[in-house]
Every structure is written in structure tokens, then in C-alpha cells.
Amino acid sequence: AQSVTQLGSHVSVSEGALVLLRCNYSSSVPPYLFWYVQYPNQGLQLLLKYTSAATLVKGINGFEAEFKKSETSFHLTKPSAHMSDAAEYFCAVSDRSTGKLIFGQGTTLQVKP
Amino acid sequence: GAGVSQSPSNKVTEKGKDVELRCDPISGHTALYWYRQRLGQGLEFLIYFQGNSAPDKSGLPSDRFSAERTGESVSTLTIQRTQQEDSAVYLCASSSAGGEVYNEQFFGPGTRLTVL
């Protein structure tokens, strides 16, 4: 069975600081991995995805993530946080037969001025 | 073009009542998914439709939950005899295909269900 673990339910950074949100996965097959963002009172939006091409994936709003098979990780980073990045972030792995997403518990990112 | 829409946006009901939640996927999307997001928890998969058949219903929590889909169009999630633990945001997503080939899932805004 596939699963995703997000380390840290709440992360707080200062504006301009590095953002690092951690995600580890478990999968018996090469995974498809995703990061979604959910702004307050809005739906989920895809930030970026890994589908077995380049291991460093760039997404929207300056975010990127690196797939590390040896560490079974797919951590999300952004060099400089902006106030507008405050949101909840979900890491997910896709079931290869149905496409259904298996989500982590989510990480709330707070950005302090 | 239009995204995934869901109705109602909010639903408050009394314990024991039945509720119906509706999802209108993006036109042409054959795959449709329902998820549930309970307060303070991640998203849980409920059911997957490919066209109007549901090859994966493994996430439905009990037989009080059912869903149907008309062709490659609207889907309805029905919860019978609602319980307080059913309170959650119910999210619908659609994609141009399910299965092996990855296609991005586009999410609707969700229906917030509150069971009193």
C-alpha cells in the first residue's frame, strides 16, 4: 500500500526566509508525487508534480521539490517566503491503477512579517 | 473555461437526516473522484468513477455512503442517516483520464457539511 507522511503539522517562517516542508512516501512501485496548496476558503491547487522525469521539479509561485529515491522523500522548498504563501500544503502520491490521490496530513505554513 | 463546481457550498443538517452533495466536473473529464477532509485531518479518498462506473469504492466509510454518476457528467454523493462524525468538507475532483497515465486532478471548492 502507498502512504505519505508529512513531518510537521505546522511550520512558521519569517518573510524572506527559506521554506522547507517535508514529505516522505512509501510505495512499492515508482511513485507519482504531488504537492497541492489550499489557501483559506479556497479549493486545492496543484503546485507541482513528479512523474518520473527530472528529479528536481519546479512549480508555480517559486516552489520546487526534489525527488530522492534513496531517502523516499519529496520535500518542498522555496528560497524566500512571501506573506501570500501562508496556506495549507498537502503532499500526495497517486495510485497507479486508478489515479486516486493518497494525501499526507497536511502542513500549515505561517509566514511572519 | 469552467472549473469543477460543487453544490451546495454549505449544508447544515440534523443527525439522522439524508443529504445529497453534487459535483459538476469539467466538461470532457472522464475520471471523477470524491474526497473527504475532516477538521484537522488530511484528505481521505472516498470513491473513483471512470465514466459512470465506479471501479474503486474502497474509501466509502460505511454503507450509509453511496454515489452515482450520470455518464461522464454530474455525480451525486449521498449520505443516509447522517452522523456527527460525517461533518467534513467533501471535495470533488475530475481529470481527463484515470489510471496509469497521469492526468492532473482539478478540485472543486468543496461542500462543507455540518451535522448537528
Return the number of CB contacts < 8 Å for A and B. 64
Enumerate residues 34 to 93 of chain A having a beta carbon within 8 A of any beta carbon in chain B. 36, 42-46, 49, 51, 90, 92
Instruction: State the pLDDT at residue A96.
Output: 81
pLDDT at B106 over 80: yes
A95 against B69, higher pLDDT: B69
Instruction: State the pLDDT at residue A64.
Output: 97
Nearest chain B Cα distance for residue A15, angstroms: 25
d(CA B94, CA A101): 12
Q: Within chain B, where are the H helices?
A: none
- What does the pLDDT average to over B105-113? 94
pLDDT digits (tens, 9 = 90+) for B31-50: 999 999 998 788 999 999 99
What residue has cell string 502512504? A3
d(CA A12, CA A111): 6
Instruction: State the pLDDT at residue B24.
Output: 96
pLDDT at B78 over 60: yes
Nearest chain B Cα distance for residue A96, angstroms: 5
Instruction: State the pLDDT at residue A30.
Output: 82
Instruction: State the pLDDT at residue A1.
Output: 81
- What does the pLDDT average to over A8-26? 96
* Least confident residue range of A92-96, B8-12, B84-88, B112-116: A92-96
Instruction: State the pLDDT at residue A43.
Output: 84
Name every residue whose Cβ is closer than 8 Å to that of residue A75 and which is 6 or more positions away in sequence.
A20, A21, A22, A23, A65, A66
d(CA B78, CA A29): 34
Task: Please count the CA atoms within 13 angstroms of the CA of A44 that sit on its side-chain side.
Answer: 30
Element (H, E) at B79: strand B75-79
pLDDT digits (tens, 9 = 90+) for A63-106: 999 999 999 999 999 999 999 999 999 999 998 888 899 999 99
d(CA A30, CA A73): 12
A43: which chain B residues are within 8 Å (Cβ-Cβ)?
4, 91, 107-110
Smallest Cβ distance to A44: which of B97, B102, B107?
B107
Instruction: State the pLDDT at residue B100.
Output: 53
Q: What are phi and psi of B4, to 5 degrees?
A: -75, 130
B22 against A29, higher pLDDT: B22
Instruction: State the pLDDT at residue B99.
Output: 57
d(CA B25, CA B94): 6
pLDDT digits (tens, 9 = 90+) for A18-71: 999 999 999 888 889 999 999 987 889 999 999 877 899 999 999 999 999 999
Mean per-residue pLDDT over chain B, rounded: 92
Instruction: State the pLDDT at residue B98.
Output: 59
Instruction: State the pLDDT at residue B101.
Output: 58
With CB atoms and an 8 Å threshold, state whether B33 touches A99. Answer: yes
